[in-house]
Amino acid sequence: MSVRYLTNFDVNHLPTEQVDFLIVGSGIAGLYTANRAGAMGARVLVLTKRTVEDTCTERAQGGIAAAIGAADSPLLHFDDTLVAGADLCNREAVEVLVNEGPERVGELVRLGTRFDRMGSELALGREGAHSQNRILHASGDATGAEIQRVLSLQVRQEQKIPVLERHFVVDLLVRDGQCYGLLAYDEAHRRLCVFWSRVVVMASGGAGQLYAYTTNPEVVTGDGIAAAYRAGADVMDLEFIQFHPTVLALRNGPPFLISEAVRGEGGILRNALGDRFMPRYHPDAELAPRDVVTRGILSEMELTGESRVYLDVTHLPTEQVYARFPNITRTCLSLGINLTKEGIPVAPAAHYVMGGIKTDLQGATSINGLYACGEVACAGAHGANRLASNSLLDGLVFGARIVERVLGSGAGRGRANPPVTFSNSGLKPEKPINLVALRRQLQKMMLERVGPVREADGLGRALGFFDGQRFLTGFAAEEPETFEIRNLLTVGELVAEAALARTESRGGHYRRDYPQPEERWRKHIIFRRH
């Protein structure tokens, strides 16, 4: 589904800007990296496709994991991450994550993040597959919004870093293995523009909009993964898609995440018959790894013939539920659900991409000058299934490492010295198609064929679907909606291709026709476009 460029252009005829440090994305990974680079004196620019706050970070509920408790240690956090990752984690990446995490979280506190406290101590919650209470949270269940607030304030008011909203990254400008900048679409002026930079940091998030039912906002369309792949970067582990087990499932309501912390506080999963079922699937019951809980829920839905199960907190004190989960409580009440008196209808939904642009432990990709951090990146820390609340930590830790590597070596200063020109002219004018219908068709197909339960026949049919859309690559994309669907098609095909190749079940990848993990598959699938 991929050609080198999405559109026709000639940089000699486009407005251009030069910076030291160009960051794509305004979630925790992008803004934290921008803040660190700005503090070290770099000339930084942030691009974001919608508004600064339109991110997965802003919607994150549960919290951020860090081994700061008196009974906790990075070693325990390390072990929990490996277990959740289903024996596919890069151990060195996990060591970096858990050992540097507490310092990064401490920095968030120093910047003004108001995490919840019990007296003078930080309050620490428990989530699935964690052996200790180590989840910091803010305003009960609005952790991401608080972190987004603090980092946005730091970048815009303290560091005075410009953030260009409604700038869609179309393609990376790469020559002979060196990234010189990128081509973007300025939505306000409806024109292409060019940004030159010695350092480009992709922090654009995942690809949740591949699926009809997802916790991700509409902007999360795999743009960074697709652009990097088109430019020749290695992408890895894309078959591993995490479905969050408990997302509000109303027949006519929007998907809304019901935080894993609800189960951490004692919430119980019951099927449509009222039976608690998770103890049958795992010794840790509701606090098993997310892939286990997801498959348990799907099995119960199939057994009962229902499209949802119920998360029950009616046995918990009302005051505890209201204080710990004010946002969830308020949202449920607005939809007619009093969660202190009745079960919350939930079902799994696409949540997180464990794979992404392959990086080393300093965020460097296979293309010189191109770095990646956050969900768009894959250093292997999450293996086949991310441990709950490690995602926000990932953006902090590897974002900081990028800045230290680049600015410590001096590579992020000075002009990019691009080649004479970049251009493309081989695409036909944009072909009118029903973008809304195609996107819905793709999302429905991905959920049915490349969802939490897969098999060869369905994956083959999915690849046939992508073959049927390949004609689009001969036409120029000229607007954000077209860029998005083309990126979704590219990433979706890679996910399906990797899922078909991996003939085993591991973590977030479950094959009905190959239900067991295989030692020979304890390895990674890496794609590179030639």
Residue among 25, 24, 77, 22 at smallest CA distance from 54: 25
- Tokens representing 474 are 């001969």
Handedness of CA 5, 9, 10, 11 (dihedral sign): negative
- Tokens representing 322 are 């209201």
DSSP 295: H
Q: Which of the residues 59, 263, 290, 405 is marked catalytic?
A: 290
Coil, strand, or helix at residue 510? Answer: coil
Q: Which residues, other chains included, contact 49 with Cβ-Cβ below 8 Å and sequence gap of 6+?
A: 166, 167, 168, 169, 204, 219, 223, 480
Q: How far apart are CA 368 and CA 137, in angstroms?
A: 37
Q: Which residues, other chains included, contact 32 with Cβ-Cβ below 8 Å and sequence gap of 6+?
A: 151, 395, 396, 399, 400
Handedness of CA 134, 138, 141, 145 (dihedral sign): negative
Report whether 285 contacts 278 (CB < 8 A).
yes
Complete DSSP assignment for 120-189: TEEPEE--TT-SS--EE-STTT-HHHHHHHHHHHIIIIIS---EE-SEEEEEEEEETTEEEEEEEEETTT
Per the listing, tokens 């902007």 go with: 219
Q: How far apart are CA 295 and CA 302, in angstroms?
A: 10
440 annotated active-site:
no
Class of residue 434 by CB neighbours under 10 A (exposed 0-12, middle 13-18, buried 19+) = exposed
Report whether 297 contacts 347 (CB < 8 A).
yes
Residue 475, φ and ψ in degrees, nearest 5: -115, 145
How many CA atoms, within 13 angstroms, populate the side-chain half-sphere of residue 181?
21
Q: Which residues are catalytic?
A: 290
